[in-house]
Amino acid sequence: MAQKVTKAIFPVAGLGTRFLPATKSVPKEIMTLVDRPLIQYAIDEARAAGIKEFIFVTSRGKGALEDYFDHAPQLEAELERKGKTDLLDVLNETNMESGAVAYVRQHMAKGLGHAVWCARRLVGNEPVAVLLPDDVIAAEKPCLQQMVEAYEETGGNMVAAMEVPEAKTSSYGVLDVKEDHGNLVSVNGMVEKPKAGTAPSNLAVIGRYILTPKVLDNLNAMEEGAGGEIQLTDAIAKEIAASDDVYGFRFRGQRFDCGSKAGFLQATVAFGLQRPDLKDELEQYLVELAAVRQAAQ
């Protein structure tokens, strides 16, 4: 039986330059989709999948992230005094169990593989999930939970996968598909950010992974890949060659690329429309807006 996945790595060291000037003083992961920071969506997804230990790979200027997961005694006392129990409940949902959160710094921006490698001692000799908070996935059953359930059958390594337009494949890790079984695909290889026209398929890796300790070992070699960075994709690809124990998993759900402004805006609208307290007003606005724009054409 596959060993249980109870730890997750959240690489959050990026500078977030695409969101300047906001990210000059606010970590990208604290930016809000409706009223919850991006990172909260990833945490909730990890919790739903049974994750108990949360490892953040941070960098300089990410202090607000650490504070976010801390208790806020003054604020809590004030809300208590005013009898605002609904807001206290909202805060309580964000509190993490003592000792469940660990931070490790990535001192140099050497890529995603390097960020994951920085967490290796905290992971030890067990499987670990990796969640990239930029990839927000709206799903009835949270994406990582779907993956953990599939992993319980397969063991090994698993990456979330989704078809993308061919013209976009150069922005992703791309799977070279061996056998396609629908939800699960076996792979011959994986390529990080293939040059235009060279992608082995249009099945792209999305930011959810379940990794064996072997992949973290592979990162020790510190081999540079696409863009001169140490790529997680390459360390996983090595495992395909060594053990053939890598699966792509087509998740059910809608993925938003919150690393881009357009994706972030789309996610804001989509999550706003799911909120009972906002849905009607937002929907009415969108309908009116569409009508006004059409009339102006």
The residue ranges that bind ligand G1P (CB under 6 A) are 112, 132, 135, 172-173, 192, 204-207, 232-233, 259
Nearer Cβ to ligand G1P (59/233): 233
Task: Give CA–CA dist 129/244, Å, rounded.
Answer: 19
Beta bridge partners of 32: 37
Structure tokens at 35: 């009223």
Closest approach, Cβ 95 to ligand G1P, in A, equals 29
Beta pairing, strands 7-11 & 246-250: unpaired
Q: What angle do CA 95, 96, 99 make, to 5 degrees?
A: 145
Closest approach of Cβ 259 to ligand G1P, in Å? Answer: 6
Closest of 134, 126, 128, 121 to residue 33, by C-alpha: 134
Which is closer to ligand G1P, CB of 68 or CB of 172? Answer: 172
Q: Closer CB to ligand G1P, residue 12 or residue 49? A: 12
CA–CA dist 134, 267 (Å, integer): 11
DSSP state of 177: E
Q: Which is nearer to ligand G1P, 37 or 207 (CB)?
A: 207
Shortest gap between Cβ of 75 and ligand G1P (angstroms)? 33
Distance from C-alpha of 230 to C-alpha of 115, rounded to nearest angstrom = 9
Nearer to ligand G1P, 29 or 192 (CB): 192
Q: State the nearest-atom distance from the C-beta of 233 to ligand G1P, in Å.
A: 5
